[in-house]
Amino acid sequence: MAGLRLGPLLRYVDAQSATVWVETDGPCVVHVRCEDGAAGAQRTWQVAGHHYALVPVTGLAPGTETPYQVLLDAPDAAPGDGGEQVWPPPGSRFPASTIRTLPASPGEPLRFAFGSCRWSATPSNAAHDPVGPDALDTLAATLAADPGRPRPDVLLLLGDQVYADQTSEATARVLAGRRDLGEPPWKQVADYEEYTHLYYESWLDPEVRWLLSTVPSCMIFDDHDVIDDWNTSAAWLARMRAAPWWRERILGGLMSYWVHQHLGNLSPAELAADELYARVRALPDATDAVREFAAGADADPACARWSYRRDFGRVRLVMIDTRATRVLDEGSRAMLDKTEGEWLRQAVLEGRGGYDHLLLGSSLPWLMPHLIHAAEGWNAALCAGERGPRWARRSEFLRQRADLEHWAAFPGSFTALTELIAEAAAGTDAPATVCVLSGDVHHAYVAEPHWRGGGPRPTSRVLQLTCSPVHNSIPGSLQAGFRFGWSRPGRWLGKLLARHGRLTRPAVKWRRTGGPWFGNQLMTLTLAGRTARLALDQARREKRGGVRLVTVWRAALSDARVAGKSGDAGGRAPGTERPKTG
């Protein structure tokens, strides 16, 4: 009889259905059975010697919560047969894993917790260790210790769920058993099999394993899920494609992302319509089919769509792929290619008026410290030849060395996103809030834009909400750099760079109204009707041992203005509550 190797992960949940992802150590039939009678079953499918199932659970009632079990049966068993229970494991110290469906009433509160950048263990080549406990671990421990505490309805993981280029000593020992670590790619992962060990290390953590079994999750990749600076520029891509180890690395990265993260983002209806997923389930071994798909996606971004849209009652989430569909030619650089840009526009505007809040998930922030924004635009202009070939060569080196590849480094895309947000946020049927949820930059902040000129202004509250890391670190020098980037001298220096790069003035100006905060942290948006509230929780060690979540900032977003001054370093501002601990 097969056993449970990884999972279960509760992924998609709506008012009446859910999906549960597992990996088993052999072929079998996977059953999910709920106490209220809802159930689902699916035979496993195979990729690279690993066995997976994404089980659709139907028959759930809106606005209910029911414990569930995972059972495994022989591969030739009928889907309605019995099976051996493998989850919850015997003697588990955690509460029962449950499926909580979306509420029947659209006005009931929904809680969205989000963050990015999680080392599951300190990398062996880390220049500095993370300070403080893992925020995801701490959230899990807090909820497990107090089952009555309000928990997130959805967990949004905004990139760098695994670090393919910064492996721990434990993973490095596994890699050393397969190949010579003195040869490229050294202690970085090389192929699909090595990627699977990153997911074991991250998702077999007991607290995180339980948390992901009971809180639905939506995911999107960022660069470290493949490699630092993934798709920064055409020069970067040419250099990587010339490396003999790169092809297996990118194929393994895209294959493992499709299996472990992407499929769970899809609804049962989307899964049923997915041709590749149907092929994979029908084949005795789907390795070649998934590999062929990954190769096509790497060669032509139009072959795959990693972005997706989810509607949670009257809350719309549009998760944007900011890595794999980039246009890198200097004459036409774009964060999203034309097809992806058209899809994003439709996903945002279709049915506008039918949602009260719009969440745009982008691993990379839209609004950044003013100096960094100007520096990225200036660098992009010089790389494109605005000041001649000598400046272009030096600027390409700087672009790759300093990670200058956020929205601001693609000025046309920054403008297009700004215009789309303005359109979505304007008019009588506009949502109450439009929030861009981001991570990547290893600190947290809130920024609020204001549109220039005398034209129509958005009626929605528009905010950039940035939260990272979940478990990582940032040197003191970079902390100082981010603070300086928001300061008046930083803005002044940014204006000089913009002038040198002959940049046009953006359609928006913005100010920081919260933060910056440094530490391992998560943000939580609580949305009810047309109201929105935000909390920032940091993981802290207690003097007597143990860890806890400390709420360091709260704010009302849609019914009170956050009016902190631009130079404020995170103190209390009108529209916020006093910091609270929990």
pLDDT tens digit sequence for 271-307? 999 999 999 999 999 999 999 999 999 999 989 999 9
Mean pLDDT value across the chain: 93
Q: CA 327, 328, 333, 335 torsion: positive or negative?
A: positive
With a cut of 90, say whether residue 574 has pLDDT above it: no
Q: What is the mean pLDDT of residues 437-444?
A: 97
Residue entry with tokens 């993370």: 130
> Which range (37-41, 129-133, 452-456, 518-522) has the least confidence?
452-456
DSSP 8-state assignment for residue 303: G
Task: Centre a 10 Å sphere on the Cβ of residue 389 and count the other Cβ atoms it contains.
Answer: 8
Angle between helices 370-383 and 476-486 (to 10 degrees): 90
pLDDT at 579 (0 to 100): 44
Checking DSSP bridges between strand 217-219 and strand 154-157, what pairing results, if any? parallel
- Could you tell me what percent of the chain has a pLDDT over 90? 88
Provide the token pair at 260. Answer: 């472990």
In 204-261, the DSSP E strands lie at 217-219
Q: What is the pLDDT of residue 82?
A: 72
How far apart (Å, rounded) are the C-alpha atoms in residues 521 and 468?
Answer: 6
Least confident segment among 80-89, 146-155, 182-191, 261-270: 80-89
> Is the pLDDT score of 140 beyond 60?
yes
Q: Which pLDDT does position 552 carry in this prediction?
A: 96
Cβ-contact 295, 276 below 8 angstroms: no
Res. 581: pLDDT tops 70: no
Across 407-429, average pLDDT: 96
In this predicted structure, the answer to whether residue 561 has a pLDDT above a threshold of 60 is no
Query: 157 is written with which tokens?
Result: 């993981």
Characterize the bridge pairing of strands 461-466 and 433-438: parallel
Give the model confidence (pLDDT) of 47-96 as tens digits: 999 999 999 999 999 999 999 999 999 988 776 667 899 999 999 999 99
- The DSSP secondary structure of 81-100, one letter per residue, reads S--EEEESPTT-SSPPPEEE
Q: Mean pLDDT over residues 478-507, rounded?
A: 96
The residue-averaged pLDDT of 122-143 equals: 88
How many Å apart are CA 510 and CA 497, to the nearest integer? 18
pLDDT in tens, 345-357: 999 999 999 999 9
Q: Does the pLDDT of residue 576 top 80, yes or no?
A: no
pLDDT > 70: what percent of the chain? 95
Q: Please give the average per-residue pLDDT across 408-414, as a whole number.
A: 97
